[in-house]
Amino acid sequence: MNVFRYAHPAVAVVYYAIAVALPVVRSDVATSAVVLSGILLQMAVISKSVRAAAAWTATFLPFAALFVAAAMLFNRRGGHVMFQIGGWQPTYESALAGLAAALTIGAAFAAFETTGRVVPAETWLSVASGRAPNVALLLAMTVRFVPHFRRRLGEIALARRALGEAVAIAPNAFGGKTAAMRNTARLLGLLLPVALEETARTADAMTARGYGTGPRTRYRRFRFRRGDAFRTAVFAAAALPAFGVFTGENPVVSAAAAAVYALLPMVFASPGFSGRPRFLRGRLPRGSRDARRSGFLRAKSDAGRTWGKKQWR
Amino acid sequence: MALMRLEGVSFRYVGAKDFSLSDVGLTVVPGEFVLVVGPSGSGKTTLLRLMKPGLAPAGERRGRLLFRGKPVEEWPPRETAAAVGFVSGDPEAWIVADEVWSELGWTLEQIGAPAADIRLRVAETAQAFGLAPLLRRRTYELSDGEKQLVHLASVLVARPELLLLDEPVSRLDPVSAGRFWDVIARLRREYGIAVVCADHRAEPAFAMADRVVCLEEGRLLWEDSPRRAAYRLWRSDDVRFCEMVPEAARVCLEFAEAAGTPWRPEEADRLPLSVREAKAWLASMAKTDDAAEYDAAEDGDAENGAAKDEIAEDDVVEDGTGASFRRVGDDFGGVAAVCRDVWFAYTAADDPVLRGLDLTIRRGQWLALLGGNGSGKSTLLRLIAGFERPLRGDVRVFGRPPHRWKDAERPFLAGYLSAEPRDYFAGETVKDDLLAVARRAGCGVDEAMRLADIFGIRRLLDRHPHDLSAGERQQAAIALLLLFRPRLLLLDEPTFGLDAGARRVLIDVLRAACRLGVAVVTATHDLSFAASAADRCALLFDGDIAAEGETDLFFSDMFYYAPERARIIRNVARRSTFGSSGRGGVASVREEEMRRWWIASGENAQ
Q: pLDDT, tens digit, for every residue of A147-182?
A: 778 888 888 888 988 988 876 554 444 456 666 677
Residue A284 has pLDDT above 70, yes or no: no
pLDDT the model gives residue B96: 84
- CB A174 to CB B132 under 8 A? no
**Could you read off the pLDDT of B582-606 as tens digits, one per residue?**
444 556 788 888 888 888 755 544 3
- CB B105 to CB A290 under 8 A? no
- CB B98 to CB A194 under 8 A? no
Between residues B451 and B561, the one the model is more confident about: B451
H or E, element range at B24:
strand B21-28
By the 8 A CB rule, do B82 and B163 touch?
no
Residue A92 has pLDDT above 80, yes or no: yes
By the 8 A CB rule, do B548 and B538 touch?
yes
- CB A209 to CB B418 under 8 A? no
* Share of chain A residues as helix, strand and coil, in percent rounded to the nearest 5: 70, 0, 30
**Could you read off the pLDDT of A175-214 as tens digits, one per residue?**
566 666 777 778 888 888 888 888 888 888 888 888 877 7
- CB B424 to CB A162 under 8 A? yes
- CB A140 to CB B98 under 8 A? yes
Q: From the list B55, B109, B115, which residue is nearest A208 (CB)?
A: B55
Query: Which chain B residue shows the shortest CA-CA distance from A173?
Result: B407
- CB B112 to CB A160 under 8 A? no
CA gap B386, B414 in Å, rounded = 9
Report chain B's mean pLDDT, rounded to a whole number.
83
pLDDT class for B66, splitting at 50, 70, 90? very high
Q: From the list B102, B387, B437, which residue is nearest A163 (CB)?
A: B437
**Could you read off the pLDDT of A119-134 as tens digits, one per residue?**
766 677 667 666 666 7
pLDDT the model gives residue B288: 59
- CB A216 to CB B97 under 8 A? no
CA distances from A188 to A152, A167, B245, B433, B440 (A): 10, 12, 44, 18, 22
By the 8 A CB rule, do B408 and A170 touch?
no
pLDDT the model gives residue A270: 53
Between residues A302 and B60, the one the model is more confident about: B60
Residue B243 has phi, psi (to 5 degrees) of: -75, -10
CA distances from B172 to B128, B148, B502 (A): 21, 8, 20
Residue B213 has phi, psi (to 5 degrees) of: -115, 135
Residue B231 has phi, psi (to 5 degrees) of: -65, -45
- CB B407 to CB A295 under 8 A? no
**Could you read off the pLDDT of A21-40 as tens digits, one per residue?**
998 888 888 889 999 999 99
**Could you read off the pLDDT of B327-374 as tens digits, one per residue?**
334 455 688 999 999 999 887 767 888 999 999 999 989 999 998 877
Q: Measured between beta carbons, which residues in chain B are less than 8 angstroms from residue A220?
A: 115
Query: By the CB < 8 Å criterion, does A140 face chain B?
Result: yes
Residue B254 has pLDDT above 50, yes or no: yes
State the DSSP string of B412-444: HHEEEE-S-GGGG--SSSHHHHHHHHHHHHT--
CA gap B44, B267 in Å, rounded = 29
Q: From the list B54, B112, B424, which residue is nearest A214 (CB)?
A: B112
- Burial class of residue B472 in the structure, from the number of CB atoms within 10 Å of its CB (0-12 exposed, 13-18 middle, 19+ buried): buried
pLDDT the model gives residue A3: 64
Choice among A153-157, B213-217, B463-467, B579-583 with the minimum mean pLDDT: B579-583
Sheet arrangement for strand B536-541? B414-417, B488-492, B519-523, B366-370, B536-541, B544-550
Percentage of residues in chain B with pLDDT exceeding 70? 88
HEC states along B478-536? HHHHHCCCCCEEEEECCCCCCCHHHHHHHHHHHHHHHHCCCEEEEECCCHHHHHHHCCE
Query: By the CB < 8 Å criterion, does A270 face chain B?
Result: no
Query: By the CB < 8 Å criterion, does A186 face chain B?
Result: yes
pLDDT the model gives residue B287: 67
**Could you read off the pLDDT of B121-137 as tens digits, one per residue?**
999 999 888 888 888 88
pLDDT class for B25, splitting at 50, 70, 90? very high
Q: From the list A167, A194, A219, which residue is nearest B105 (CB)?
A: A219
Residue A305 has pLDDT above 50, yes or no: no
Q: How far B432 CA sits from the closest chain A CA (Å)?
A: 14
Q: How far A15 CA sits from the closest chain B CA (Å)?
A: 24
Residue B375 has phi, psi (to 5 degrees) of: -85, -5
Percentage of residues in chain B with pLDDT exceeding 90? 29
CA gap B163, B159 in Å, rounded = 10
H or E, element range at A239:
helix A226-243
CA-based nearest residue to B164, from B35, B75, B9, B13: B35
Query: By the CB < 8 Å criterion, does A85 face chain B?
Result: no
CA-based nearest residue to B394, from B331, B338, B333: B338
CA gap A125, A296 in Å, rounded = 24
pLDDT the model gives residue B137: 82
8-state DSSP, B14: T
Mutate to test the interface with A, among B48, B49, B110 (most CBs of A within 10 A): B110
pLDDT the model gives residue B397: 93
Size of interface A-B (CB pairs under 8 A): 181
CA distances from B367 to A36, A195, B529, B593 (A): 57, 34, 12, 23
Q: Measured between beta carbons, which residues in chain A are less than 8 angstroms from residue B448?
A: none
CA gap B131, B150 in Å, rounded = 7
**Dihedral of alpha carbons B298, B299, B304, B310, sign:** positive
Q: Measured between beta carbons, which residues in chain B are less than 8 angstroms from residue A162?
A: 385, 410-411, 415-418, 424, 481
Q: From the list B77, B115, B440, which residue is nearest A210 (CB)?
A: B77
Between residues B435 and A210, the one the model is more confident about: B435
Q: What is the rounded average pLDDT of the residues B182-190?
A: 88
Q: What is the rounded average pLDDT of the residues B188-198?
A: 90
DSSP bridge pairs for B10: B62
CA gap A39, B209 in Å, rounded = 60
CA gap A150, A155 in Å, rounded = 9
